[in-house]
Amino acid sequence: MTGAAFTIGFYFPAAAKGAASVLTGKGAEVIGVELTSWISIDKTGLVTLVNHRSEMGQGSFQSVPQVIAEELEVDLDKVNIVFATGDQSKYGSQITGGSSTVRGSYKALLLTGATAREMLITAAANKWAVNKSDCYAKNGEVFHRPSGKKIGYGEVAEDAAKLKPPTNIALKERKNYTIIGQPLPRQDTPLKTNGKAEFGLDKKLPGMLYAVVERNPRFMGKIKSFDDTAAKAIPGVKHVIKVEMPVFATTRHGVAVVADTLWAAMQARKVLKVEWDDEGFEHVNSAQLYDRMKANLTQKTLSQRTGGDFDYAFDGAEKKLEAVYETPYESHSCMEPLNCIANVQEDKCEIWGPIQGPDWIQKDISDKLKIPVENVKVNMTFLGGGFGRKAFTDYTTEAVLISKEIKAPVQVVWTREDDMTQGPFRPGAVYGCKAGLKDGRMAAFQVKMSSQNMDHQWPGANKKIFNASTTEGFLEAYFESIPNYSFADIPTEAVVPVMWWRSVYSSTNGFAFESFIDELAHEAGKDPLDFRRSHVGERYQAVIDKLEEKTGWKTRGKNEGWGVAITECFKSIVGEAVKVSRKADGKVTIDKVVAVMDCGWYVNPDIVKAQIEGSIVMALGAAAIHETHFEDGKAVEKNFDTYRMPRISDTPEMDIHIMDNEEKPGGAGEPALPPFAPALCNAIFDLTGKRIRKLPFKLSDV
Partner 1 sequence: MAAYKLTINKKIYNIEADPKMPLLWAIRDLANLTGTKYGCGIAQCGACTVHLNGNPVRACSIPVSAAVNQQITTIEGLPEDNTHPVQQAWIQEQVPQCGYCQSGQIMAATALLKKNPNPTDKDIDTAMQGVICRCGTYVRIRKAIKTAAAIMANPSSH
Angstrom distance (rounded) from CA 166 to CA 472: 41
**Residue 435's beta-bridge partner residues?**
321, 445
Report, in Å, the least distance between residue 433 CB and partner 1.
Answer: 29
Given the complex with partner 1, which of 175 and 196 has the nearer CB atom? Answer: 196
DSSP state of 408: S
| Cα 608 from chain centroid (whole Å) | 14
Which amino acid does the sequence have at 335? M
Angstrom distance (rounded) from CA 369 to CA 359: 16
By the rule CB under 8 A, 194 interacts with partner 1: yes
Strand arrangement, sheet containing 319-327: 302-307, 484-491, 441-451, 429-438, 319-327
Report, in Å, the least distance between residue 103 CB and partner 1.
Answer: 19
Contact predicate 66/179, CB 8 Å? yes
Among the listed residues 258, 410, 414, the one whose alpha carbon sits nearest the alpha carbon of residue 336 = 414
Q: Which of 163, 169, 197, 371 binds partner 1 (CB under 8 A)?
A: 197
Angstrom distance (rounded) from CA 391 to CA 393: 7
Given the complex with partner 1, which of 127 and 204 has the nearer CB atom? Answer: 204
Residues 687, 690, 692: CA angle, nearest 5 degrees: 110
DSSP state of 600: S
Q: Which of 386, 409, 605, 665 binds partner 1 (CB under 8 A)?
A: 386
Among the listed residues 681, 682, 619, the one whose alpha carbon sits nearest the alpha carbon of residue 651 = 619
* H/E segment holding residue 564: strand 562-569
By the rule CB under 8 A, 181 interacts with partner 1: no
Angstrom distance (rounded) from CA 637 to CA 419: 11
Report, in Å, the least distance between residue 702 CB and partner 1.
Answer: 21
Instruction: Tell me, residue by residue from 645 to 674, as one string, x for binding to partner 1 by CB under 8 A and - for no binding.
Output: xxxxx-x-xx--------------------
Angstrom distance (rounded) from CA 471 to CA 494: 22
Q: Which of 188, 476, 545, 591 binds partner 1 (CB under 8 A)?
A: 188
Given the complex with partner 1, which of 387 and 500 has the nearer CB atom? Answer: 387
Report, in Å, the least distance between residue 78 CB and partner 1.
Answer: 18
Q: Which of 3, 166, 207, 235 binds partner 1 (CB under 8 A)?
A: 235
Q: Which of 103, 144, 186, 238 binds partner 1 (CB under 8 A)?
A: 186
By the rule CB under 8 A, 623 interacts with partner 1: no
Contact predicate 344/371, CB 8 Å? no
Contact predicate 581/653, CB 8 Å? no
Angstrom distance (rounded) from CA 80 to CA 523: 58
Q: Which of 9, 27, 45, 59 binds partner 1 (CB under 8 A)?
A: 59
Q: Which of 40, 100, 301, 333 binds partner 1 (CB under 8 A)?
A: 333
Angstrom distance (rounded) from CA 275 to CA 254: 11
Rounded to whole angstroms, what are the CA distances from 237 to 3, 212, 240, 338, 408? Answer: 43, 11, 8, 21, 14
Interacting span for partner 1 (CB under 8 A) from 94-102, 115-123, 328-336, 678-686: 328-336
Given the complex with partner 1, which of 338 and 449 has the nearer CB atom? Answer: 338
By the rule CB under 8 A, 76 interacts with partner 1: no
Given the complex with partner 1, which of 4 and 383 has the nearer CB atom? Answer: 383
By the rule CB under 8 A, 415 interacts with partner 1: yes
Contact predicate 265/241, CB 8 Å? no
Report, in Å, the least distance between residue 189 CB and partner 1.
Answer: 5
Report, in Å, the least distance between residue 639 CB and partner 1.
Answer: 5
By the rule CB under 8 A, 205 interacts with partner 1: no
Report, in Å, the least distance between residue 81 CB and partner 1.
Answer: 15
Report the length, in residues, of the chain: 702
Rounded to whole angstroms, what are the CA distances from 286 to 140, 478, 638, 644? Answer: 59, 34, 15, 18
Given the complex with partner 1, which of 305 and 416 has the nearer CB atom? Answer: 416
By the rule CB under 8 A, 577 interacts with partner 1: no
| Cα 151 from chain centroid (whole Å) | 42
By the rule CB under 8 A, 584 interacts with partner 1: no
By the rule CB under 8 A, 189 interacts with partner 1: yes
Given the complex with partner 1, which of 248 and 352 has the nearer CB atom? Answer: 352
Q: Which of 177, 199, 226, 276 binds partner 1 (CB under 8 A)?
A: 199
Which of positions 251-280 make contact with partner 1 (CB under 8 A)?
261-264, 267
Report, in Å, the least distance between residue 454 CB and partner 1.
Answer: 21
**Residue 376's beta-bridge partner residues?**
349
By the rule CB under 8 A, 207 interacts with partner 1: no
Q: What are phi and psi of 234, to 5 degrees?
A: -75, 130
Angstrom distance (rounded) from CA 200 to CA 264: 20
By the rule CB under 8 A, 202 interacts with partner 1: yes
Interacting span for partner 1 (CB under 8 A) from 54-62, 441-449, 557-565, 660-668: 54-62
Strands in 336-428 per DSSP E: 339-345, 348-353, 376-380, 410-413
Report, in Å, the least distance between residue 657 CB and partner 1.
Answer: 15
By the rule CB under 8 A, 570 interacts with partner 1: no
| Residue 535 backbone class (left: φ over 0; alpha: ψ -120 to 50; beta: rest) | alpha
Given the complex with partner 1, which of 356 and 486 has the nearer CB atom? Answer: 356
By the rule CB under 8 A, 281 interacts with partner 1: no
Report, in Å, the least distance between residue 621 CB and partner 1.
Answer: 9
Report, in Å, the least distance between residue 246 CB and partner 1.
Answer: 26
Given the complex with partner 1, which of 475 and 607 has the nearer CB atom? Answer: 607
Given the complex with partner 1, which of 488 and 597 has the nearer CB atom? Answer: 597
Reduced to 3 states, what is the DSSP secondary structure of residue 369? Answer: helix
Name the pairing type of β-strands 410-413 and 376-380: unpaired
Q: Which of 173, 346, 439, 641 binds partner 1 (CB under 8 A)?
A: 641
Report, in Å, the least distance between residue 265 CB and partner 1.
Answer: 11
Rounded to whole angstroms, what are the CA distances from 634 to 216, 244, 286, 484, 594? Answer: 9, 19, 10, 42, 39
By the rule CB under 8 A, 385 interacts with partner 1: yes
Binding footprint of partner 1 on the chain (CB under 8 A): 55-59, 185-186, 188-199, 201-202, 204, 235, 261-264, 267, 333-337, 382-387, 415-416, 606, 610-611, 613-618, 639-641, 645-649, 651, 653-654
